[in-house]
Each structure stands twice: as C-alpha cells, then as structure tokens.
C-alpha cells in the first residue's frame, strides 16, 4: 500500500488537472486513492486547494497580424492536403496501370524483393 508521502507532487497536480478538466470524476479519484487514505475525500480536497491555480489562464486576444498568419497557415495546410490527395490518386493510378500491364502483357514490371539467386 502507498502512503501519502510516496505520491509525487506531479501526480497530485495531474489528478487536480484531470478533475478540473472533467476527464476524471471525483468518484473515480476517490476510488483511486481509497487505499492510501482512510479519508480520500479530504486528501483530494487538500490537493485541490494546494494545486488549483487561483489565477485563471487567459489567452490574449489575437492581433490582426496573428489572425492573418493563422489564415495563411490554414490555406497552406489546405494546399498541402490537396497536393497529398493528388499524389495518392496518382500513386493509385500508376499501381493500377502496372497491374494491368503485367496482367495483359504477361511480363514482370515490379522489382522482386529478396536476394538474387
């Protein structure tokens, strides 16, 4: 069995973040630490008081220049996705063409893998 001293601060912070984000329920947290403490409710409440930030995290509003940069990156991503899609389609077409040529001409076009004999 663990005792309270063996739980790292990082694990305590992780639990508090998971609770705050709603990725773990309070009941799940209590179950997880029942073996460590006779009163997991108080234990978790102490951790929440200690590790919950009093200062809410706020992000600054994006400037017009930043918005333009984000939009440019979005467009660049769309263009890259389109190029990838085109390359994948070309690859499929070439593979099909090779398959048909091998089948109809009865010749081996693809290089065989493995050692030469």
Distance CA 102, CA 3 (A): 69
Q: Is position 79 within any domain?
A: yes
Specify whether the CB–CB gap between 47 and 32 falls below 8 A. no
Give me the mean pLDDT over the 30-41 stretch: 81
Q: Is position 84 within any domain?
A: yes
Instruction: Please give the tally of structural domains in the chain.
Output: 2
Same domain, 45 and 66: no
Same domain, 39 and 18: yes
Give me the mean pLDDT over the 91-101 stretch: 95
Q: Is position 56 within any domain?
A: no
pLDDT digits (tens, 9 = 90+) for 68-77: 999 999 999 9
Same domain, 17 and 44: yes
Is the pTM here over 0.85, yes or no? no
- State which residues form the domain around 95: 62-108
């Amino acid at each position: 069995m663990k005792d309270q001293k063996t739980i790292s601060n990082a694990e305590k912070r992780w639990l508090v973040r998971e609770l705050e984000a709603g990725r773990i329920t309070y009941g799940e947290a209590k179950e997880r630490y029942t073996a460590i403490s006779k009163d997991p409710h108080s234990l978790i409440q102490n951790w929440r008081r200690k590790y919950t930030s009093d200062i809410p995290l706020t992000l600054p509003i994006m400037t017009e220049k930043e918005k333009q940069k984000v939009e440019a990156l979005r467009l660049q991503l769309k263009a890259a996705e389109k190029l990838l899609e085109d390359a994948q389609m070309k690859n499929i077409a070439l593979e099909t063409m090779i398959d048909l040529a091998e089948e109809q001409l009865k010749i081996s076009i693809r290089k065989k893998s493995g050692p030469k004999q």
